[in-house]
Structure 1
Amino acid sequence: MTLSKHEVVDGDKATVLIVDDNSDNLDVLSGVLRPFYKVKAAINGELALKVASAKNKPDIILLDIMMPGMDGYEVCQQLKLNPSTANIPVIFVTAKTETKDEEAGFKLGAVDYITKPISVPIVLARVRAQLALYNQQRELEILVKQRTKELDDTRLEIIQRLGCAAEYKDNETGLHVIRMSWYSKFLAEQVQANDEWVELLYNAAPMHDIGKIAIPDRVLLKPGKLDKEEWTIMQTHVECGVEILGEHESDLMIMAREIALCHHEKYDGSGYPNGISGEDIPLSARIVAIADVFDALTSVRPYKNAWSVEKAIALLVEETGKHFDPVLVPEFIKCLPRVLEIKDKYMDVFDE
């Protein structure tokens, strides 16, 4: 018998785990399968779960039902409840031959049912067929993940480019969005344990001021203080940003829109556009507000010179509980060594 590509994994034989409390049954099945597959054996349900959850997982499991202690049904149920083993195909191999027994096994997630005493050709054919299906499924999942990653990478690249495009209007290098994104990530790591959320924030933060694209240069680049009319125009960049980003189901776009809308809100409710306060302001926007202001203060802008780090930190402390979340400011200060490393690494050429 020649192994097909569906009976090998990463260029090697597939691994079959046999679970049976009877050593004679283990010997018989091992003898049938060993010429074609790697074979592991477990004499009870507890050991089977341990072997199935190990680093080198089996590619298929042949599982007896009638075992002392944890029977095959319970083993199968536990396998399907564990995300790391849920997709491993399970074939029941048992002397229980009634239809209701087969139905019970299939309801628990088994893919096939072989009765004892076993038929060698049937065992080999069933194992081969289920391995082929399992490997096709894994190949499809890998392909879907690759395509999804390509789409995500493309979407992320577009977001980052758009964020830089907006920043070029009042910062010739566009490095502000890179710096403040890193600052946001550092602060998020201090207060948010969810790594996926932190990464999402890091990738969404560059879009915070995308609405600046719509602000006339006479307002955005004015070297002096804005008058009342000009300030009203400047504030519209929030709504413009929200319109540009639109409404999407993507978690990344949802957070980018949330940040664009709320990063000018203030903790005491005196911000814009909606005057919300405290924890009604999304955490993402409260974090970005600190990162954005710190970098704006310590960078050259058309209307000002760069502040010293010490002066900028003093303002953050002074505005704690007013502009900024009182919990987040101390956490940002703890990040300062890493913040300053990024500031030096991505310094604008005209920064002092």
Structure 2
Amino acid sequence: MKLLLIDDNPSNLFMLGKLAQNSGLSDVASFRDPLQALEEARRAQFDMIVVDYMMPGMDGLSLIKEVRALPNYADVPIVMVTTVDQREICYAALEAGATDFLTKPVDMAEAKARLRNLASLRDMHNKLRDRADWLQSEVRKATQEMAVMEEEIIMRLSRASEYRDSDTGAHILRVARISRELAEELGQTSQFCHDIYLATPMHDVGKIGVPDEILRKPGPYTAEERKLMETHTQVGGAILAGSESRLIRLAAEVAETHHERWNGGGYPRGLKETQIPLSGRIVAVADVFDALVSPRPYKNAWPFEKAAQYIADNSGTLFDPDVAQAFALRYFRIIKIVESVPDPVINAA
């Protein structure tokens, strides 16, 4: 427990120091100059302050006001030493933030009891503060652990669709990273950019509900097969719907809307323009571009320039013009993503 004593009278300062030690306050810093004392309070944290009213350079009222304005001094007990007839000064001191008073001549027994009581209250306050800090730290740790667990669940669940689809985990990761690039270029918050990166890998989780003979078909779909394939958006949205997690809700939004198109010609609901959530509009561009530049059993990979031109040509029809523009501005960064996350090479048996 650290005590700061301020009195320009050496005798009073010595007496108050002895009084503090008798009250159990052994760590005492004494100052005759209030300006030096104030500087020390800025440098170090004290648990209690005893200050005389009448001092040269700065009176006790001014010092109390200055101390109360310092960080971490809002609850520190401050005792002002005054003469008996200074009632107006006492009122002003209370307004300035004084906690208690000692009157001159100081009654040693009374002063000892007051300082001891204030020290006890301060000690309880410190323990409560430390407990609150500990609890806050534990809550922060638990929140971080939950976030890590949530991210792991999402990544593992996204891998479930990967095992059933001809697309690879590399495609899932590339689309996630491209989506984050687009969100950043659109000026979205860091939280949104982080969330869409984590939510996007689940955009095709609904393919779990598509029959193997359709999902793995090497050639083009019939109209009926196409209709069944398109149900993966609704299945994905249903799998992820109703979560209390912000991240899972975003993943559900992405899964259901990433095949909607700006002109209303997409599926499953034929949403148009800004009826489509921003997350869906972003992933639509990222997913299409990566699908175009990736080889599939039924097609060769498109050159980057041709796929980028497809995005540009369909700006305002298939794709949100703002997202298409963001794609153009981040084009070279997106190419680096595609090149740095290649599909795995599968050796023939």
Normalised by the size of structure 2, how large is the TM-score? 0.73
Deviation readout 1:236-259 (Å, 9 max, x if unpaired): 111110111121121111111111
Match of 1:126 among 118, 121, 125: 121
Residue 248 of structure 1 corresponds to which residue in structure 2? 243
Deviation readout 1:112-167 (Å, 9 max, x if unpaired): x8312373323322222111111111111111211221121111111011112212
Cα distance change, pair 336–273 in 1 and its aligned pair in 2 (3 A): same
Residue 177 of structure 1 corresponds to which residue in structure 2? 172
Identical columns (%): 33
Residue 320 of structure 1 corresponds to which residue in structure 2? 315
Match of 2:257 among 259, 262, 275: 262
1:292 aligned onto 2:287? yes
Residue 75 of structure 2 corresponds to which residue in structure 1? 90
Q: What letter is aligned with 2:136?
A: E
In the alignment of these two chains, the number of paired residues is: 303
CA drift of 1:199 comes to 0.6
1:114 aligned onto 2:99? yes
Normalised by the size of structure 1, how large is the TM-score? 0.72
Q: What letter is aligned with 2:101?
A: K
1:278 aligned onto 2:273? yes
Q: What letter is aligned with 1:189?
A: E
Q: Equivalent residue of 1:301, what SS?
A: coil
Residue 147 of structure 1 corresponds to which residue in structure 2? 142
1:238 aligned onto 2:238? no
Cα distance change, pair 174–75 in 1 and its aligned pair in 2 (3 A): same
Q: Equivalent residue of 1:116, what SS?
A: strand
Q: What letter is aligned with 2:180?
A: K
Q: What letter is aligned with 2:235?
A: C
1:342 aligned onto 2:337? yes
Deviation readout 1:69-92 (Å, 9 max, x if unpaired): 9969x959xx8xxxxx8xx86245
Aligned-partner Cα distance in 2 for 1:328–1:61: 59
CA drift of 1:296 comes to 0.9
Cα distance change, pair 269–138 in 1 and its aligned pair in 2 (3 A): same
> Is the contact made by 1:170 and 1:301 (CA closer than 8 Å) also made in structure 2?
no
Match of 2:207 among 203, 206, 212: 212
Cα distance change, pair 135–70 in 1 and its aligned pair in 2 (3 A): closer
- Runs (5+) with no aligned partner, structure 2: 52-59, 81-88, 103-110
> Is the contact made by 2:49 and 2:79 (CA closer than 8 Å) also made in structure 1?
no
Q: What letter is aligned with 1:266?
A: R
Aligned-partner Cα distance in 1 for 2:175–2:156: 15
1:138 aligned onto 2:127? no
Matches for 1:302-313 after TM superposition, within 5 Å: 302-313=297-308
> Is the contact made by 2:3 and 2:27 (CA closer than 8 Å) also made in structure 1?
no
Residue 160 of structure 1 corresponds to which residue in structure 2? 155
> Is the contact made by 1:203 and 1:252 (CA closer than 8 Å) also made in structure 2?
yes
Q: What letter is aligned with 1:142?
A: S
> Is the contact made by 1:320 and 1:329 (CA closer than 8 Å) also made in structure 2?
yes
Q: Equivalent residue of 2:99, what SS?
A: strand
Q: What letter is aligned with 2:134?
A: E
Cα distance change, pair 266–97 in 1 and its aligned pair in 2 (3 A): farther
Q: Equivalent residue of 2:78, what SS?
A: strand
CA drift of 1:23 comes to 7.2
CA drift of 1:329 comes to 1.1
Matches for 1:5-16 after TM superposition, within 5 Å: none
Aligned-partner Cα distance in 1 for 2:281–2:207: 20
- Runs (5+) with no aligned partner, structure 1: 1-6, 8-15, 80-84, 106-112
> Is the contact made by 1:245 and 1:253 (CA closer than 8 Å) also made in structure 2?
yes
> Is the contact made by 2:254 and 2:283 (CA closer than 8 Å) also made in structure 1?
yes
Q: Equivalent residue of 2:219, what SS?
A: coil
Deviation readout 1:243-299 (Å, 9 max, x if unpaired): 111211211111111111111111111111111111221111111111111111111
Aligned-partner Cα distance in 2 for 1:219–1:247: 28
Q: Equivalent residue of 1:192, what SS?
A: coil
Cα distance change, pair 68–36 in 1 and its aligned pair in 2 (3 A): closer
1:332 aligned onto 2:327? yes
Q: What letter is aligned with 1:175?
A: A
CA drift of 1:188 comes to 0.8
CA drift of 1:191 comes to 1.1
Larger Rg belongs to:
2
Aligned-partner Cα distance in 2 for 1:265–1:61: 65
Cα distance change, pair 61–334 in 1 and its aligned pair in 2 (3 A): farther
